[in-house]
Structure 1
């Protein structure tokens, strides 16, 4: 039989065996980071395409609704219509791309957040990897709730800022400045609601304890109010309190979750103190010497009975 008639077996590339110690070289870390970043960028591009197509089908109307809902005497438009002004030829194109990119980042956030957490999980223990789905779901939900709260309070805050100029002043806002203001407010609220989740994540991996959060509760609440005062683009008390109030509540929920997790972790550690040891391993006992007279023994009672000092007859002579 000729060599041409022989079929050569195909060589398949096998994945390298997984290291049980979860150790990786620097090249492996960089390769993993490159793959995760590439997948995140792919989801971000797809989300941007969706945002670009959604721009004319409700996205722009959704962003301009708080401004258009204001009283007509605040807007300088003779026909009573609600329109934003663009002062540049390429301003409309750049504005659409900017809004599409931000909308794409929000739409694809569950996917690139999963890639971020998947890059971190190899360095975690097995019981810590199960929080991946919960972390992605909770972070996406909190960001959406923060953005929704910002959108609901946007009209009141915008009306308060515009009415401070007086009744003789009417506004003609540009699309770039107004939409940039709205997007920055939505993103600020969304990211701010993620901070309590970071505290919970640090507690779950054992970095931040409940006692630390309990001792720092007052400082956390105070710094939350200061943070809301600096982060809110409107700088008005109404928007600041709208951000600080839910954040304080979320931080209190995070502290109580840390309390439950630490209490459960302490009970598990007390129940499984010696269960993980092999038969050949030494128990973690205290090897320091102790004093012999630290505790009474049965021989002390016998010695006390035989002592002549305790005999009443002997004491009377």
Structure 2
């Protein structure tokens, strides 16, 4: 009896040692993640300081740009309207009449700080993705590591393209529509600066996130959750969803503006199908080689 108790005691000590080792391993991972986050925070803080140094340019030329009738998008719209006057006359915008006010005593200072932090985050996205990649890289197999080497590059490019597309196409047309829209002519549109900034950032960053669709499909396809057959089968539903998103993002009755927004989303969906099909093809080839050997 005592011998059995001794064996049970030894076994419990071994199990306790294994659990302690697992706990230490978990906390080691947390410590590594903390270091990656701190480095990312340091880079974002540095970029925020740089943005604060150029805050006048950021406010006057970038943030307030879509409210200026001489903005690049409006000038290009006027050129398109001159080429196709019968179908694109609404593209030419030469006047944006709206009053933007500040209602808080510390409002403008808070907005300046928040805009600089946002600029630092946007500029720091590539480095933040790089830190995420460094954190998950040791847990990947060699084949997985090789197949996802371009994760940081492609995710960063897609995010920046989405931000630029949202800033130069979606934000200007949406702001112009919202500024000029009235329920009754007797009601004058006067907007707060935080409402204006929130609209610009939401449309711009939202488009950057939407442009991450191929990256999300890549990850889901790797996990076996998404297949190209499923995406092809539900293409019609995806098309309806894309049109709904385009209609919501661009609150305008102009179908041409909506299609300008929807077209890149259609292309991203088709690109996602190609990515998923390529991953599935590689998986099938690897399985064939495995069973053959």
Aligned position for 1:107: 123
The answer to whether the Cα contact below 8 Å between 2:48 and 2:120 also exists between their aligned partners in 1 is yes
Q: Which moved more, 1:180-189 or 1:164-173?
A: 164-173
Which structure 1 segments of 5+ residues have no match?
1-23, 77-83, 276-317
Q: Tell me the CA shift for residue 195 of structure 1.
A: 2.0
Aligned position for 2:136: 120
1:62 aligns with 2:62: yes
Q: Which moved more, 1:195-204 or 1:221-230?
A: 221-230
> RMSD of the alignment, in Å?
2.7
Higher relative helix content:
2
Q: Partners in 2 of 1:98 and 1:213 — Cα distance?
A: 39
Q: TM-score, normalised by structure 1?
A: 0.67
Q: Tell me the CA shift for residue 205 of structure 1.
A: 5.0
Match of 1:187 among 185, 192, 205: 205
1:266 aligns with 2:280: no
Aligned position for 1:21: none
> Per the alignment, do residues 72 and 246 of structure 1 end up closer, same or farther by CA in structure 2, a change over 3 Å counting?
closer
Which structure has the greater CA radius of gyration? 1
Q: Which moved more, 1:127-136 or 1:87-96?
A: 127-136
Q: Partners in 1 of 2:284 and 2:228 — Cα distance?
A: 12
How many pairs align? 243
> Per the alignment, do residues 132 and 122 of structure 1 end up closer, same or farther by CA in structure 2, a change over 3 Å counting?
same
Match of 1:162 among 179, 182, 200: 179
Which structure 2 segments of 5+ residues have no match?
1-23, 70-92
> Per the alignment, do residues 256 and 167 of structure 1 end up closer, same or farther by CA in structure 2, a change over 3 Å counting?
same
Q: Secondary structure at the match of 2:62?
A: helix
> Per the alignment, do residues 73 and 132 of structure 1 end up closer, same or farther by CA in structure 2, a change over 3 Å counting?
closer
> Per the alignment, do residues 215 and 201 of structure 1 end up closer, same or farther by CA in structure 2, a change over 3 Å counting?
same
1:275-290 to 2 correspondences below 5 Å: 275=293
